[in-house]
A and B are shown apart, each in its own frame.
Chain A
Amino acid sequence: MITPEIIEIKTDVAVIGGGTAGLNCAMAAAESDCDVLVVEKANIVRSGAIAGGIDHFMAYMENGEDWDSREAYLGYVARVAKGASNLKIHEKVYCDELPAAIERIESLGISLRDPRYPNSQDFFRTQSMGQPGPYWINFDGKKLKPRMAREVNRRGCRVLNRVQVTNIFLHDGELAGFTGFDIRTGDFYLIHAKTIIISTGNTNRMFRTQNGNPFNLWYCPANTGDLHRAAYDAGVELANMEYVRMTIVTKGFSTPGFNAFFGMGCKLVNSLGESFTKNYHPMGDKAPRNVMVWGALQEIKEGRGPIYMDARHLSTEDLDHLFKTLGTDKDTLPDYLAAKGYLKDGAMIEMTVSEPMQARPSELCGAGIKIDENCASNVPGIYAAGDAADQMGCLHMCTAGGFAAGKAAAAYAGTVTKHHPVDMTAVRDERERVFKPLGRNSGLHYSEFENVVRIITSDHFGPIKTELSLNAALEKLDGIDGERNNLRATNLHELMRCHESSNIHQVAKIMAHAALVRKESRFAPYHYRADYLETDDDNYCGLIGISKGADGQAQTRFEPLEYPI
């Protein structure tokens, strides 16, 4: 086992997770007098959900059409994210920040204008996911992540790449610091911070995938709930954790592309060649994502699978653009489609339902650290942004809301006169815990342990669940605690994976606990209780808050949410 010295760093604001939300946090915090440090498990140039590119940004643009106003947009949020999105927070972290967010992206040299025509000044807007009008701005965001990284550096933020954060430390109930290790050198860090912003995305690799490879995922497989788990252990309350998110993906390769396909007018058909989505929602192929997934699952279950993406009716120009923008969103998807032999003309692309994951039930909220209108958690000094927060997610909210969180956290840091002390005995114990898998000669390899977790979650709540299935899942997940505490690593890469697997396992338990409490179905199939089939707005229109009680057990509470009728 290695016992490196403890490298101590002091900062005012630390951003944990340098994806879209985190980099926008850092840009905002850097506008104050604060020292800003970004700690990222990979490299901020290409990390997180949009590492390889992105092609859609949701926005209303006040262009005079009824559907294009803030009011109409909020009506849309209330309709499709009812019970999960807090409208007051949404207005503060997204609506109030939207014009500046659009300006900021373009100031980085990334055009949001029509990607089909060079030098166009028009926006190319498409509609899907239950939107009342074309809220998606389709653009070429292939270089968005590196440009944001450059801007963070230009604004003087310090960056620690390749550091996995392992735990958070409090002093008298307030944030004091956190620890992490370099996944290549093994250096061990203690970061003293006045405030942290957690922006580490959602939790992946938790459920079985369509082809058995746990890394073949729609979302980023490096996002493994590391800070959901650490925050929970530190007493931070989480919300929207019961939701199991899924989408429609190409058969054999789980990637983004949903917006591109349906925004460009493709139709989902069953193996009889019938368009079926209207049977499940009046908006058909432009219905909310969860309804599309529900419909696809029913078609497959009832024997009308496989399902296909029918693009045969698209014009040559639209087909060309569809395949181009699919590659903007997922760089290698066009290579895959070519390898599969799909031609641009007359394409009927076989699709399927993706792997489940821990994430928000809608593009209009998040799932994770429960935040207030200032992006603050219940623990003083701990803030959250992006997919890791319960009220943010997707590019538009990560950009706008990340900036809001950065401003709020920096303002808070300005009120903290000095850093709180960190208990060094606890830090040395943490160092021992972190590096222990490297010293073991026996114990499970992370991949074997993770597979066991995936079998349990997939069988018991991936996504359909009942009280019995959830309790059985918890019993099984608790039953492998011993294996989790005895994982073995032969190098630092495997050590990182051990901690990721351990976090996935513990977040799975949090999900199951939260799902037990919500005795209704909502956003089916994302929370589909076979023992409570209906949506029960009288009792469950709101958030299940979940936190770690003094006895170490999960405790929950219900917070109602109100929507205009």
Chain B
Amino acid sequence: MPAVISQTKCTGCGLCDLFCPIDVIHMEGDVAIMRYPDECWHCGACRLHCSKGAVTFEFPASMAGI
């Protein structure tokens, strides 16, 4: 998983969805969902705009493991 959005910390402000340059984060109801994890660029824009600290990055084995 790339950007991981905590469903408990997310307050649904929508900024990560709004500013994701790759269109991989979408709002679903009141929370933001990483809908296309394989397409994440890991640019960090979502985390930069999250005032709740709901976004963290986890690097899959195909990245950190090689």
A and B interact physically: yes
Give A contacts to B, CB under 8 Å.
42-43, 45-48, 51-53, 142, 162, 183, 210-213, 215-217, 220-222, 251-253, 255, 330-332, 335-336, 339-340, 493, 496
Given A339-B59, A496-B23, do A252 and B43 touch, yes or no (CB 8 Å)? no
B40 touches A215 (CB 8 A): yes
Of B20, B22, B40, the most chain A CB neighbours within 10 A belong to B22
Beyond the given pairs A46-B21, A48-B21, 4 more chain A to chain B contacts, judged by CB atoms under 8 angstroms and listed by A's residue number, are A42-B21, A220-B21, A220-B41, A252-B62
- Given A43-B18, A213-B38, residue A336 in contact with residue B59 (CB < 8 A): yes
Scoring B residues 29 to 40 as 1 if CB is less than 8 Å from chain A, else 0, what string do you get? 000000110111
A52→B47 CA distance, assembly (Å): 10
- A211: B residues at CB distance < 8 A: 62-63, 66
B22 and A46 contact, CB distance less than 8 A: no
By a CB distance below 8 angstroms, the chain A residues around B38 are: 213, 215
Asked if B21 contacts A47 (CB within 8 A), the reply is yes
Could you list 27 A-B pairs, sorted by A, with CB under 8 Å? A42-B21, A43-B18, A43-B19, A43-B21, A46-B19, A46-B48, A52-B44, A52-B45, A52-B48, A162-B23, A183-B23, A210-B66, A213-B62, A215-B22, A215-B41, A216-B41, A220-B21, A221-B22, A222-B23, A222-B41, A252-B64, A253-B42, A253-B59, A331-B45, A335-B59, A336-B57, A336-B63
In angstroms, how far is the closest chain B Cβ from the Cβ of A350?
Answer: 9
Nearest residue (CB) in B for A219 is B41
* Distance in angstroms between the alpha carbons of A251 and B43 in the assembled complex: 17
A252 and B42 within 8 A (CB): no
Chain A contacts for B44, CB-based, 8 A: 52-53, 330-332
Q: How far is the CB of B25 from chain A (nearest CB, A)?
A: 11
Q: Cβ of B49: which chain A residues have Cβ within 8 Å of it?
A: 46
User: Distance (Å) between the CB of B20 and the closest chain A CB?
Assistant: 7
For the complex, what is the distance from the CA of A319 to the CA of B36, rounded to whole Å? 35
Q: How far is the CA of A212 from the CA of B62 in the complex (A)?
A: 8
Taking CB atoms, residues of chain A closer than 8 Å to B57 are 332, 335-336
Say which size band chain B's interface belongs to.
20 to 34
Q: Separation in Å of the B50 CB from the closest CB of chain A? A: 12
Cβ contact within 8 Å between A336 and B21: no
Cα distance A396–B28 when bound, in Å? 39
Which of B35, B39, B43, B45 counts the most A-chain CB atoms under 10 A from its CB?
B43
Whole-angstrom CA separation of A251 from B59 in the bound complex: 13
Please name all residues of chain A whose beta carbon is closer than 8 Å to the beta carbon of B36 when the two chains form the complex. Answer: 493
Determine whether the beta carbon of B22 is less than 8 Å from that of A42: yes
In the complex with contacts A252-B66, A331-B47, A336-B59, A216-B42 CB distance below 8 A: yes
- Chain B residue numbers with a CB within 8 Å of A45 are 18-19
- The CA-CA distance from A255 to B35 in the complex, in Å, is 23
**Residues of chain B with a CB closer than 8 A to A330's CB:** 42-44
Nearest-CB distance from A418 to chain B (Å)?
A: 36
Contact A222 B65 (CB under 8 A): no
Q: Which residues of B contact A253 (CB under 8 A)?
A: 42, 59, 63-64
B62 to chain A: which residues have CB within 8 Å?
211-213, 252
The answer to whether B19 touches A216 (Cβ under 8 A) is: no
A51 x B43 contact (CB < 8 A): yes
**Chain A residues near B22 (CB-CB < 8 A):** 42, 215, 221-222
Contact of B45 among A46, A212, A339 (CB under 8 A): A46
